[in-house]
């Protein structure tokens, strides 16, 4: 990864089309994450994508950008601010906000989020990854 990682660096995003098929692969066929009627019965207006599935998309984005370094010591914390439903197209986005020295490594602190097909943020948070300065990537 010889690319320069400056503050403000935009991460390469991901895009996912949400369907009942993808939701059921992740969460099973029953309950609010697999059945529209179950979500309506709970007063949620229909089925909702499970939070873990949404975090997985952000983890994929971080892994796509930083590879083994993220898998070896990356961190992520998010908040879910808007429901994601079957039929939505979700785009993962991120930007490096700060670079901190950690001995022979640098920790990149990133703002990450998912937005739906109309540009509304649905999931927001922070992620970080530790990179060695000489190689531009983490160990592992």
DSSP H stretches of helix in 19-87: 20-27, 36-41, 51-66, 68-73
Question: Which residues, including other chains, have CB under 8 Å from residue 33's CB and lie 6 or more apart?
Answer: 23, 26, 27, 47, 48, 49, 50, 53
Neighbours of 5 (CB within 10 A): 17
Domains and CATH numbers, the chain: 51-132 (3.10.129.10)
Q: How far apart are CA 46 and CA 30, in angstroms?
A: 13
Residue-wise DSSP of 88-134? -EEEEEEEEEEEEEETTEEEEEEEEEEE-TTS-EEEEEEEEEEEETT
Q: Specify the DSSP class assigned to residue 10.
A: B
pTM: 0.87
pLDDT at 5: 53
Per-residue pLDDT band at 8 (split at 50, 70, 90)? confident
- Give whole-number Cα distances, 97 to 71, 100, 120, in Å: 20, 10, 21
pLDDT at 133: 60
**Rg, the chain, Cα only:** 17
Q: Residue 16 half-sphere exposure, CB side, CA atoms within 13 Å?
A: 24
pLDDT in tens, 93-139: 999 999 999 888 999 999 999 999 999 999 999 999 999 865 444 44
pLDDT top residue among 138 and 87: 87
Question: Does the pLDDT value for residue 77 go beyond 90?
Answer: yes
């Amino acid at each position: 990864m010889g690319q320069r990682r400056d503050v403000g660096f935009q991460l390469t995003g991901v895009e996912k089309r949400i369907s009942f098929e993808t939701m059921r692969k992740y969460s099973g066929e029953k309950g609010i994450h697999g059945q529209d009627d179950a979500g309506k019965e709970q007063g949620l207006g229909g089925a909702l994508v499970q939070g873990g599935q949404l975090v997985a998309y952000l983890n994929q984005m971080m892994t796509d950008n930083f590879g083994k370094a993220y898998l070896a010591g990356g961190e992520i914390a998010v908040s879910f601010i808007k429901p994601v439903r079957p039929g939505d197209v979700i785009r993962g986005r991120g930007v490096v906000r700060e670079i901190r020295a950690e001995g022979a490594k640098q920790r990149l602190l990133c703002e990450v989020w998912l937005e739906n097909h109309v540009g509304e943020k649905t999931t927001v948070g922070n992620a970080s990854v530790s990179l060695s300065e000489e190689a531009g990537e983490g160990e592992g």
